[in-house]
Amino acid sequence: METKQTDATFLGNILYIIDILLNLGFSLIYLAVMVLGSLSFFLNLIEKIRNNSFLSFLAFSGIPLICVIYLGTNVLIEIYQYNYSFIIRPLVFLIVYLLCTGIEFLIFRKKIKNLESSHSIKI
């Protein structure tokens, strides 16, 4: 009996280590997507994108919005099929990130309008 418990504990430890490695892998993928999504706001340096509100919003929140839509549909499908989804935590982080970038976008548009109005008065 004790040998079986040791084997079960050893197998449990290996499965636990594999679970940790998988979570680290998913976290690295999530980090890479967030870095790419955060760097896309530099597209606002292009005047055509900066002056168009829709393109400017896509430059701020396009990649996170696509990720939220994709992960949201996967969560709904998995919850419907299996009554559980391991993607819920990244989805919550993505939604919070999307809300933050939305607020940043509104602040950016307000500053752009103020900058344009101050330049139009000086000219």
Per-residue pLDDT of the chain (123 residues; tens, 9 = 90+): 444 554 568 888 898 899 889 888 888 887 887 787 778 878 888 889 888 888 888 888 887 788 778 877 877 787 777 777 666 777 787 788 888 888 988 998 899 888 888 876 544
**Tokens encoding 108:** 């950016």
Is 99:69 a contact under the CB 8 Å cutoff? no
Is the pTM higher than 0.75? The answer reads no
